[in-house]
């Protein structure tokens, strides 16, 4: 199925690694992970590599940052479209929606955020 895209052997290995990591530690609101220099340079320097942040920990971390291949685009997309659902904050009157805090670099995500506001 992915052969027409090219680099199918590498892509297959990466998809398998992503699936295995998801099965071992699926994203939950109780576990957040460091993504160094996301969303801005210097972010998460106070979190050790491999450290898992709990609900009460106020340091910055992301529920999907431990998954292989997750970079800024994936994290921005996750925050815009799904993070509030995972954290049971969707439609909450008390919390600012996560998508409002995203400062995307991708042109399509930027256009979506401009449209949404």
CB atoms within 10 A of CB 14: 13
Whether the bond between 39 and the residue before it is cis, its omega within 30 degrees of 0, is yes
Residue 94: which pLDDT band, with cuts at 50, 70 and 90? confident
Domain ranges of the chain: 26-116
Reported residue count of the chain is: 117
* Reported pTM: 0.89
pLDDT averaged over every residue in the chain: 94
Query: What does the pLDDT read at residue 90?
Result: 86
Tokens of 91: 């439609």
Q: How far is CA 74 from CA 11, 58, 78, in A?
A: 16, 22, 6
Q: How far apart are CA 87 and CA 76, in angstroms?
A: 16
Query: What does the pLDDT look like over 27-56, one tens digit per residue?
Result: 999 999 999 999 999 999 999 999 999 999
Secondary structure (3-state) at 76: helix
């Amino acid at each position: 199925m992915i052969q027409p895209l090219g680099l199918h052997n590498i892509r297959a290995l990466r998809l398998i690694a992503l699936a295995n990591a998801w099965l071992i530690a699926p994203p939950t609101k109780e576990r957040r992970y460091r993504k160094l220099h996301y969303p801005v340079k210097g972010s998460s320097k106070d979190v050790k590599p491999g450290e898992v942040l709990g609900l009460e920990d106020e340091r910055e971390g992301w529920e999907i940052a431990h998954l292989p291949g997750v970079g800024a685009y994936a994290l921005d997309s996750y925050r815009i479209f799904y993070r509030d659902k995972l954290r049971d904050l969707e439609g909450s009157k008390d919390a600012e929606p996560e998508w409002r805090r995203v400062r995307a670099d991708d042109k399509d995500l930027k256009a979506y955020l401009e449209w949404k506001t």
